[in-house]
């Protein structure tokens, strides 16, 4: 899997909400995602291209348990960086509804993150892949079957977030 072939939308819902409520909040976060990148992003930006590619050709959504509001706010902190090349957004309920609580965070990622990145981590755990971190350059490198795969600090942290979160019930 050397080329990006698929995209997925990952949503991280507030686990205090029921399953159906988390699904509704994921739809709200998706709406915010399109508003953010249609209003604020210039045509041709990497983030907007990822989002449009997902919407036109893939449409797969994975709803994850994002934990409580503190964990969702931490995701926002992680995603809100210039090092993040992927489209992301979040949804906060109205003050009158849930006291303005953050209920969902969403991000569109390629298969190099959710598929290959997680497979490489598992291969490392089994001892069939090597892992090296270059602190000077902020590069995480896996070597498996004679090939090297490089991830930035941000991408490595994103893989960890996806890998460690449970699917929403």
Domain assignment present for 58: yes
Candidate from 40-54, 60-74, 136-150 with smallest mean pLDDT: 40-54
Domain assignment present for 97: yes
Q: In terms of residue numbers, what domain contains 66?
A: 7-109
pLDDT of residue 2: 47
For a pLDDT cut of 70, what percent of the chain falls above it? 93
Percent helix, strand, coil in the chain, to 5, is 45, 30, 25
| DSSP 8-state assignment for residue 165 | S
Domain assignment present for 158: no
Domain assignment present for 45: yes
Indicate the number of domains in the chain.
Answer: 1
pTM, to two decimals: 0.89
Do 51 and 145 meet the contact criterion of CB atoms below 8 Å apart? Answer: no
pLDDT digits (tens, 9 = 90+) for 109-167: 999 999 999 999 999 999 999 999 999 999 999 999 989 999 999 999 999 999 888 87
Domain assignment present for 78: yes
Domain assignment present for 100: yes
CATH number for the domain harbouring residue 31: 3.40.1490.10
Domain assignment present for 147: no
Do 10 and 107 meet the contact criterion of CB atoms below 8 Å apart? Answer: yes
Domain assignment present for 145: no
């Amino acid at each position: 899997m050397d080329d990006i072939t698929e995209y997925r939308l990952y949503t991280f819902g507030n686990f205090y909400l029921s399953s159906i409520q988390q699904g509704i909040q994921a739809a709200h976060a998706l709406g915010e995602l399109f508003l953010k990148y249609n209003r604020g992003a210039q045509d041709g930006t990497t983030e907007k291209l990822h989002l449009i590619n997902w919407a036109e050709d893939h449409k797969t959504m994975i709803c994850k348990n994002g934990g409580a509001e503190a964990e969702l706010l931490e995701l926002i902190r992680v995603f809100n960086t210039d090092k993040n090349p992927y489209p992301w957004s979040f949804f906060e309920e109205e003050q009158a509804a849930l006291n303005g609580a953050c209920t969902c965070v969403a991000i569109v990622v390629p298969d190099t993150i959710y598929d290959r990145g997680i497979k490489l981590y598992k291969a490392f755990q089994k001892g069939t892949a090597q892992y090296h971190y270059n602190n000077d350059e902020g590069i995480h490198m896996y070597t498996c079957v004679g090939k090297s795969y490089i991830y930035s600090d941000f991408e490595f942290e994103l893989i960890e977030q996806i890998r460690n979160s449970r699917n929403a019930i």
